[in-house]
Structure 1
Amino acid sequence: MKELNYPKVFLMLAGLTLATLAVYGIVSLRTDDFYKFLIWNLFLAWLPFLFSLAAHALYKRNSRSLLQFPLGAAWLVFFPNAPYIMTDLLHLTIRSGIYIVDGVVQSRFWYDLAMLLLFTWTAWLTGFFSLYQFQTVIWRRSGLLVSWLFVLVACALGGYGVLLGRVYRLNSWDVLTDRHRLYQLMLDSVNRQSVFFSLFIALVLLVIYTTLYSLLNARGSRDTLRWRN
């Protein structure tokens, strides 16, 4: 498993985020600012990467630092915000009345679609790089098998988090501020449809993450993001 040069990863993701915000600015001037909530959602998607960045830096300094555990818990709470942004594509259906007029697809549909896909791409990359960071730390501490068990659990909980966020409208900070509501929603969400939804999203996350992992660890590649000791 390759170590990455995370300062370079950070700069790459920051540049991608700035480009995404620039596209939003262009589209909002062309149409409207309905999708300004995507900026907040993208900020939330960045939080798990910042937590994983801090945890990885602590591990490089002191592999036995106990601060890695609260950072890991915080990462797990906010990680679903990265894949969650995909569900904002729902608004393309909700606003279909302004996208299709007299059977003709308006150009603003393509502007908004491209913008939403770019926000989704940025958020997912940010989330997956954060997962890769934590897998790297666990791999060094406990081995490759345990690190992949962690990935499976993280994808499963990520899928469940997307369910709680989109279907039950639960926010990440509600885990700390409204535990009674969290407990009640967990009881309400235990049904066949919710379990299938969560596992389906988890499978999608795992497929995409495995693809990214394979690209980063392809044999013979000279990835410029590789850690230089």
Structure 2
Amino acid sequence: MRKLNYIHIFIFLSVVTIVTLGLYYVAADWLDQRYFRFLIWNLFLGWIPFVFSYASYLLSDVKWKGSAWLAVASGLLWLLFFPNSSYIVTDLVHLTARSSRYYGGNGVDYTYWYDLSVVLMFVWTGLLLGFLSMYQLQEVIYHRIGRWTSWIFVLAGCALGSYGVLLGRVYRLNSWDALTNRETLIELMRESVSRPSLAFCLFFGTFIITIYATLYYLVNTRSSRETQKSAGSPEVDLQALR
């Protein structure tokens, strides 16, 4: 599993976030509407799991007796907020809710494509934040425990993440309700045990794990090629000497 430079990753994600916000404000000023301003708050929530995962990542290398417990606590907080990074995908529903504004006598209005571009930028930024936050924790588990355990963690995280999106989108719960409103949370969790909810989690969980596996493959395939190239270079030099 390839180790990433998370300082560079943070800078990259910050730039992507700035571009996303810039696109939103340009479109908002151009069209003179602020309907999608809630996406800014949702993107802020999408950053929180990355912060907690990075804290766990740093604490895992600290040689202090209590650092392991702090890393676990930060990891649990990551799990609590992780659904926010992929929750933004469900904000695409607002394009459907506003469909009457997008259709005119000549078909689809340009406004639709502007709004679609803005929403997709927020979606993509959220998915990147989710992927990289999970990748950090998988990297810790991979090197501390093992490969298979790290992938069990990924599968469990995607499953619980999809359930968190269900609770947020369908039952309108927030991540902090697990700490501040437990009775309502437990009641709605019981209510959510149904066939449609299971189907939602199955489909959305499959979507999340597919995105994760795709990005994981792209990151680590490059690393494998670089390793093979560096391993093969001495042989090339030896042949040149012959």
TM-score band, normalised by shorter chain: over 0.9
**Amino acid in structure 2 at the alignment position of 1:36:** R
Aligned to 2:7: 7
Aligned to 1:77: 80
Percent identity between matched residues is 49
Which fold has the larger relative contact order, with Cα–Cα distance below 8 Å and residues 6 or more apart in sequence?
1
Aligned to 1:154: 157
Q: List aligned pairs for 1:125-204, cutoff 5 A.
A: 125-204=128-207
Aligned to 1:225: none
Q: Separation in 2 of the partners of 1:10 and 1:153?
A: 25
Aligned to 1:212: 215
Aligned to 1:29: 29
* Pair member with larger Rg: 2
Whichever structure has more helix as a proportion of its residues is 2
- For the aligned residue pairs, the C-alpha RMSD in angstroms reads 1.2
Q: Separation in 2 of the partners of 1:68 and 1:155?
A: 20
TM-score norm. by structure 2 comes to 0.89
Q: Alpha-carbon deviation of 1:221?
A: 4.0
Q: List aligned pairs for 1:30-49, cutoff 5 A.
A: 30-31=30-31, 32-49=33-50
Partner residue of 2:125 out of 122, 127, 131: 122
Deviation per CA, 1:60-114, whole angstroms, max 9, x where unpaired?
Answer: 2238621011101100000000110010010111111111123621111000000
Listed as ranges, the gaps of 5+ residues in structure 2 are: 228-242
Q: Secondary structure at the match of 1:3?
A: coil
Instruction: Report the number of matched residues.
Output: 222
Q: Separation in 2 of the partners of 1:114 and 1:48?
A: 24
Listed as ranges, the gaps of 5+ residues in structure 1 are: 223-229
TM-score norm. by structure 1 comes to 0.94
Matched, 1:112 2:115: yes
